[in-house]
Structure 1
Amino acid sequence: MSTFKGRHLLLLGSALLAGACQQTGKSGSGAMQDSLQHIADRYYADFLILNPVQATFNGENQYNDQLPVDISESFRAHSDSVYARYQEELKGIDTAVLSGNDRITYDMLQREFAISREALTFHDHLMPVQQFTCLPITLAQLGSGSAAQPFKTKKDYENFIGRMKGFAAWTDTAIANMRRGIATGYVLPASLVVKTIPQLKDLAKKDTAANIFYAPLKSIPAAVDVAAKPQLVKDYTQAIEQYILPAYDRLQQFMEKEYLPKARTSSGINALPDGREYYNFLIRTWTTTNKTPDEIFALGEKEVARIRAEMETVKNSTGFKGDLPAFFASVRTDKKLRIFKTPQAVLDSFRAIENKIMPGVKKMYGHLPKTKFEIRQTEAYRAASASAEYQPGTPDGSRPGIFYVPILNAADFSYAGMECLFLHEAIPGHHFQFSLQQENDSLPKFRRFTWIGAYGEGYALYCESLGKELGLYTDPYMYFGRLSDEIHRAIRLVVDVGLHHKGWTREQAIRYMLDNEPVSEQEVTAEIERYMAIPGQALSYKIGELKIRELRNHYTNTLGSSFSLSSFHDELLKDGCVPLSVLEQKMERWAKK
């Protein structure tokens, strides 16, 4: 799970730091802390205006009609000025008088502004469309009527009409940017471009039964006045056919006829003009560390070797006589691991896992989230390129947290990895982490809704290791599925750096993954192409998990009988996503108490 932020051209007015201090009527450390709180509050308000789509996902619905052209040069320049202004305001804060929690806020704001400004010096806006995560895919999710965008009132429908209009303008800028990218060497690999074309083609079809954008018209709520429905249906349909379908068609035609012939044959971003510098930046962004690509590559190889040794032990316990690659092949094809006949049976099996672990989870965690939780099948239009994922709910309870499972063919769905997948994406993984963070109204709002991959994905991967303690992994194939998922994250350290730093081809990365884990070539190809599309993101899981496991082991040993696992977990989660260095500091403060 990851969050990708957009930006918006408008900006709320923000007071000068001195003005904020004067308004408090305080002096000394109290005024300083209030000033920091004012900066944090104003930044979050400005962030929502810069990022109205993210605001919708946060349950902040005041900008649900807005869709900025966040890839334009003017928008990017304005965003930079906003971050620069807040950087200046932070210079007025005396960090020596801040409390522990306020210091976390200060450090996170400082990092946010610096990272956001540095990101704008690179040129990802010249490659704004790819197969895994981009606005054309996100907009389709929002327009489905079953995601974060509300469709409860007439105004809600009118709001999305506003976003449909905005998407037409965004599309024209995207095409212009990609033409600039062609001219300057910033283009996607051809293997990714070919995956975007059918996605865009499906979303450009005037098919009221199948096109996801027509879905909200099939279930207009009873709260919408009956007399207003015919005109609303007419206006909404007209907006789809005037803005959405032509925009997706323009994108699809451009990608197929003009962009694909100019796409590059290389796989990694090191082939771009500033690709090496950009990859180093992305490593710092996603891992919140200063590890070098070569250090990460070596760590990945070490972890792969360690997990392969454990896989050998599990393989032998099943009575299998061949070597590990042969066992991989067996697991990929063994029909006894494919027990499902319908998508509903797959979803029901995940619900059974939830019921099994909850008594143990309640002992491991003192503080459980209030946000409701659902398991859903991934929508057909994006299932072929999707991984299982979690989408957070809203603190007000209007939308539950959702665990999405792509099921292309239930008969091909292996049960071997289901337990660890649920622990990671759902409970106690992403659902607990996101929900507890968002529900904690003692945090500044920007911290309640922020995302730091090394912490968030690292914690979710750590949760996979809790399976035996929760009564799971009793079936050796289920435990092998756990090891398969763990080695998958270790392999990512190798192949991500291989692709983007060492010059590996897509095919080399696919072969390395196939040699070291029991997944199909189709699944591996989708994974490798995901890493090609979002470089560095895949590094965050294993880097973060190793740090969290290190902390648990350290405090288990040093605190001895006074160590409480539920207290450790509650402290780990209570402050939300934080950089790994901040996590170490706050856990040390907890241990001293």
Structure 2
Amino acid sequence: MSAGCNSGYAMRMLSAGLFLLALAILPATPLPAQPAPADTADQRFQAIYEKEWNWRKQQFPGLDEDKDGAERIRRLPSVDAATQRERLRVWDDVLRQLDALSVAELSASERINFAIYRPQIVDLAADIRFGAYEAPFNADSSFWSELGFMTRKPLRSVEAAEDYIARLNDIPRYFDEQIVNMRAGLKRGFSVPRAVLPGRDASIAAVAELTDPRASEFFNPLKDLPASMDVERQESLRANAEAAIRDQVIPAYARLLTFFRDEYMVKARKTLAAEALPNGKAFYRQQIRQFTTLDLSADAIHRIGLDEVARIHEEMLATMREAGFEGSFADFLVFLRTDPQFYPKTPEELLMRAAWIAKRVDARLSRFFGLLPRARFGIEPVPADIAPFWTAGRGGATTYWLNTYDLPSRPLYNLPALTLHESAPGHSMQLSLADEQSGQPAFRRNGYISAYGEGWGLYAEKLGIEMGIYTTPYENFGRLTYEMWRACRLVIDTGLHSKGWSRDKALAYLRDHTALSEHEVTTEVDRYISWPGQALSYKLGEIRILALRAEAERELGADFDIRAFHDAVLAQGSVPLPVLDEQIHQFIAERKQTAEAKRAQTPSPAPVGAQ
């Protein structure tokens, strides 16, 4: 649910497509002229967010790149410091306007919109205020690798091909601005930790060291132009793309590679903690609020994590015994990590098993959901250039990306939980439904709030039990491993960024508590080190959704309908957890009132023997 965004982590999560937003930006421009004065609080608020959203689309035309009528995109993000300051000025002004409104005068629907919109603007502004754009990548994703996602979109017209080539020619300017920002970050001690940098230069070198432009991934979209396009025009476009890759793209990656190896890896900070950054305690607290939507301290989150780890470990022991394993827990983890029966032999086997699981889920969805999305998703392997450092899978509205790199680290017993989380009823389904909520403002349909989205994904894994998706104790242990993994994140993230944990301590904690492979343990811990706060959203979001379901079941009793509950959760789009609380409490009250009214209208049965 995140590419190449100018403002780092906050902007990474703006789009429901997760990695496909903001592939282009125009230079910062002032907001449009003020509209005529509005009469009501609703109208004043709507004028603010509609005006800001239209401005945001000018800044980030990639926000609606796949929508009908989307503007042509010929530039990559402007990320220079002056542009950042101008955007901060605009968002600070929006916050002043919002704070001048009387929220009590807003209608119920606009109060919900306000509770979603204001934190969104706060996060965008805070990300720039802390200077997060000076560290514009992490161990999981990077601005240079994410450019590869623009090669996945077919070029269906001459104009689309010309725009694509223009973006290729803009890569040197884009990289130069990023390098200036990273140098500024190095100077003030705001950088990605040195500990996670080794090997991250490989994806830069993969492009920088190319000798044949037509062998580049960036040339791929030109290979399959529409047959309706004039042959001579096709060849002209291919020649222009080849020149752009040879003269602009490859040299830009080469300069970035030199900078990365000779400067960044040498000068990057030796500390790990977010709290060790300039103004680090405030920065980490903001990251916690941004990714969890809750006002929790690092200490409180750490305690929640420890409690969850203890609870899940008992379930894992019970499942191990159910599988008939007689050794210790540590022995069982070794068995799961090493026995060949649990691992695919080919990428195709992994992809096909995931597709089979997804279709089994598909057959059961209507029993648990009343509203299903019109859109469909496909399953694709993670692109080779980013696969070594990516997670096992990731889901967007249209694609479930499955990592086929290093097959001995991709156990099949984890695949049902992964597929439920990333595809349906997890991310792909939730994001598609959010996009289809035509009655909601664009800032909601195109937004992604990690605590809600990742919490729902983890809830979807547990729902797989009721759906009958886990068929063996090993698959259920894989589910528990994934739940334990998310609980460990609460402990590790706060341990690393607030309690002085070392990388080795974090690696050992995740290794000892889960059946994740060593490759996954390493890539995950490095992700937490370089992306503070994001890992907290999964478990805290799931805990809240499970609590709301338990409350609904308790309050409604026999009137509880699982399909209606799920529809109520998903109808919200992507919302902060406190907003979800409010909406589900309203759902419970309305369902209870409806059920009581229906019973009141139903005549009581006549007494036995009455005439």
TM-score, length-normalised on structure 1? 0.92
The residue identity in structure 2 corresponding to 1:172 is D
1:327 aligns with: 332
> 1:568 & 1:92 partners in 2: Cα distance?
36
Describe the SS at the equivalent of 1:16: coil
The residue identity in structure 2 corresponding to 1:579 is P
**Pick aligned residue for 1:582 from 576, 579, 582:** 579
> 2:26 & 2:149 partners in 1: Cα distance?
20
User: What runs of 5+ residues in structure 2 fail to find an aligned partner?
Assistant: 3-11, 15-21, 591-611
> 1:569 & 1:272 partners in 2: Cα distance?
41
Q: Does 1:67 align with 2:76?
A: yes
Show CA shifts across 1:462-487 (max 9, x none): 11111121112230000000000000
The residue identity in structure 2 corresponding to 1:279 is Y
1:24 aligns with: none
1:255 aligns with: 260
The residue identity in structure 1 corresponding to 2:337 is R
The residue identity in structure 2 corresponding to 1:116 is L
Q: Does 1:377 align with 2:381?
A: yes
1:79 aligns with: 87
Describe the SS at the equivalent of 1:404: strand
2:514 aligns with: 517
**Pick aligned residue for 2:436 from 435, 439, 448:** 439
Q: Does 1:52 align with 2:56?
A: no
1:132 aligns with: 140
Determine if contact 1:361/1:428 at 8 Å carries over to the other structure: yes
5 Å-filtered alignment, 1:232-251, equals 232-251=237-256
CA drift of 1:422 comes to 0.8
The residue identity in structure 2 corresponding to 1:248 is Y
**Pick aligned residue for 2:211 from 206, 214, 217:** 206
**Pick aligned residue for 2:103 from 77, 95, 100:** 95
Describe the SS at the equivalent of 2:400: strand
Determine if contact 1:130/1:196 at 8 Å carries over to the other structure: no
The residue identity in structure 1 corresponding to 2:586 is R
CA drift of 1:10 comes to 3.1
5 Å-filtered alignment, 1:524-563, equals 524-563=521-560
CA drift of 1:327 comes to 0.8
2:362 aligns with: 358
The residue identity in structure 2 corresponding to 1:291 is L
CA drift of 1:165 comes to 3.0
Determine if contact 1:12/1:45 at 8 Å carries over to the other structure: no
> 2:515 & 2:326 partners in 1: Cα distance?
16
> 2:513 & 2:275 partners in 1: Cα distance?
25
Describe the SS at the equivalent of 2:228: coil
> 1:9 & 1:571 partners in 2: Cα distance?
40
> 2:49 & 2:526 partners in 1: Cα distance?
37
Show CA shifts across 1:298-334 (max 9, x none): 1111101100010000111122111111111111111
Determine if contact 2:414/2:475 at 8 Å carries over to the other structure: yes
1:489 aligns with: 486
**Pick aligned residue for 1:152 from 156, 167, 187:** 156
Determine if contact 2:81/2:181 at 8 Å carries over to the other structure: no
The residue identity in structure 1 corresponding to 2:547 is E
Determine if contact 2:28/2:87 at 8 Å carries over to the other structure: no
CA drift of 1:250 comes to 0.7
**More displaced, 83-92 or 533-542?**
83-92
> 1:105 & 1:583 partners in 2: Cα distance?
12
Alpha carbons of structure 1 residues 388 and 20: separation in structure 2 relative to 1, 3 Å: farther
**Pick aligned residue for 2:27 from 5, 9, 16:** 9
**Pick aligned residue for 1:269 from 274, 284, 289:** 274
Determine if contact 1:368/1:436 at 8 Å carries over to the other structure: yes
Alpha carbons of structure 1 residues 443 and 227: separation in structure 2 relative to 1, 3 Å: same
> 2:37 & 2:165 partners in 1: Cα distance?
38
1:398 aligns with: none
CA drift of 1:354 comes to 1.9
> 1:164 & 1:566 partners in 2: Cα distance?
47
Runs of 4+ residues over 4 Å off in structure 1: 5-8, 57-60, 409-412
Determine if contact 1:43/1:446 at 8 Å carries over to the other structure: no
Alpha carbons of structure 1 residues 412 and 127: separation in structure 2 relative to 1, 3 Å: closer
CA drift of 1:274 comes to 2.0
**More displaced, 340-349 or 250-259?**
340-349
1:107 aligns with: 115
The residue identity in structure 1 corresponding to 2:362 is M
Alpha carbons of structure 1 residues 249 and 59: separation in structure 2 relative to 1, 3 Å: farther
CA drift of 1:111 comes to 1.5
Alpha carbons of structure 1 residues 20 and 66: separation in structure 2 relative to 1, 3 Å: farther
State percent identity of aligned pairs: 32
1:171 aligns with: 175
The residue identity in structure 1 corresponding to 2:218 is F
Describe the SS at the equivalent of 2:201: helix
1:300 aligns with: 305
Alpha carbons of structure 1 residues 184 and 200: separation in structure 2 relative to 1, 3 Å: same
Describe the SS at the equivalent of 2:199: helix
Alpha carbons of structure 1 residues 207 and 507: separation in structure 2 relative to 1, 3 Å: farther
CA drift of 1:223 comes to 3.4
CA drift of 1:15 comes to 4.3
Matched positions, count: 571
> 1:321 & 1:375 partners in 2: Cα distance?
37
**More displaced, 489-498 or 160-169?**
160-169
> 1:318 & 1:387 partners in 2: Cα distance?
27
CA drift of 1:13 comes to 4.1
**More displaced, 58-67 or 486-495?**
58-67
2:48 aligns with: 39
**More displaced, 505-514 or 404-413?**
404-413
Describe the SS at the equivalent of 1:66: coil
> 2:429 & 2:65 partners in 1: Cα distance?
20
